[in-house]
A = this chain, B = another copy of it.
């Protein structure tokens, strides 16, 4: 990872600010011969798009993606793909009052301290709007995965909002797409809806969340020890998303509480297949995929932009109070779900390509 680029082989470089004319991603290292149309990418952008329900920001952006290069006759050519999303609903006047103000919890002051100046319109480059470009790149990654590793499924969902977690016994894959929260537990989704409504309207507050992303059917052998491990790159990918403060693989932080006897994923060989008695490891050992489900979780802090006043300073150092009246998500974790999925897709594809560079994709066998 380097400034605005991530990936080893499948490399994504993003650009654009919240209130500039456009934003986008240059996607490099894409294998040639993969069918690709804007529509294939748009479906994922639509999933992240703001303004879709009352639980996310009312900013209204179509987030329509254009492919400007790297695709010829609806097929990738192996050259760099430019994906552009024009900003249409910029309303920069909503943000004009913050030119002199550093919003607590945002990157305003940090950008000022680093760069000496900043594009203060909607957070500029530090806005989560940048993640639209990631989702677009993730859409490309998914189409490539269909060709180079068919069968991989990558699915994200929320498992916690505030202090309220899902009940794993009620986990239902089919439920995820049927509520505003990408929640696999219908009862929890209802509870969250009530809670978030109260938080937003009555408490003028916001709340954090935990997102889990699972990748199924990832072939064993992916990951490059010791500094480009699959879990290392997933951790970097998730931590680079706006507002993320923690990343876990498998048992995650809870691994500390376990004993070696409990944590061991025992290994069996049945019907010509390697299988495991459990998946505490989250599908990754020594930085390499084991063939089990790859499980990654990340925590998103509560939206910093809230209607409740918080104390801060102006450019000249004088004190102020910040109350954010703009259109903001009360729980940014919701829209982080497709972003986490996209990052996982990019990282997994990247590692499949990186692995075939070194090993040629040939695998050690058992039996």
Contact = CB atoms under 8 A, between A and B. Distances in A.
B11 A2 contact: yes
Contacts of A226: 3-4, 14, 125-126, 130, 240
Contacts of A221: 110, 113-114
A344 to B, nearest CB: 15
A16 interface: yes
A115 B291 contact: no
Nearest to A79: B125
Given A124-B79, A359-B114, A1 B207 contact: no
Contact of A106 (B79, B205, B285): B285
A304 B264 CA distance: 7
Interface in A6-37: 6, 8-9, 11, 13-17, 20-24, 26, 28-33
Contact of A333 (B28, B161, B249, B256): B256
Contacts of A360: 31, 148, 356, 361
B317 A5 contact: no
A227 to B, nearest CB: 4
Nearest to A269: B317
Interface stretch (A39-47, A169-177, A305-313): A305-313
Interface stretch (A53-61, A64-72, A183-191): A64-72
A258 B302 contact: yes
26 contacts: A3-B28, A13-B26, A15-B81, A16-B69, A20-B69, A29-B357, A31-B358, A32-B116, A32-B358, A33-B115, A79-B124, A104-B264, A109-B267, A110-B285, A126-B226, A130-B226, A232-B236, A245-B248, A245-B251, A245-B252, A245-B281, A256-B299, A256-B301, A260-B304, A267-B312, A268-B319
Nearest to A282: B245
Interface in A239-283: 239-240, 242, 245-269, 274, 277, 280-282
A157 interface: no
A31 B304 CA distance: 28
Nearest to A250: B245
Interface residues of A, number: 164
A317 B367 contact: yes
A340 B247 CA distance: 16
B13 A80 contact: yes
A152 interface: no
Nearest to A298: B253
Given A14-B226, A205-B261, 11 more contacts: A5-B5, A13-B13, A13-B26, A30-B358, A78-B359, A105-B265, A106-B285, A117-B364, A160-B256, A203-B259, A207-B258
Nearest to A199: B259
Interface in A46-99: 66, 68-70, 72, 75, 77-82
A293 interface: no
Contacts of A302: 255, 258-260, 262-263
B261 A306 contact: yes
A277 to B, nearest CB: 7
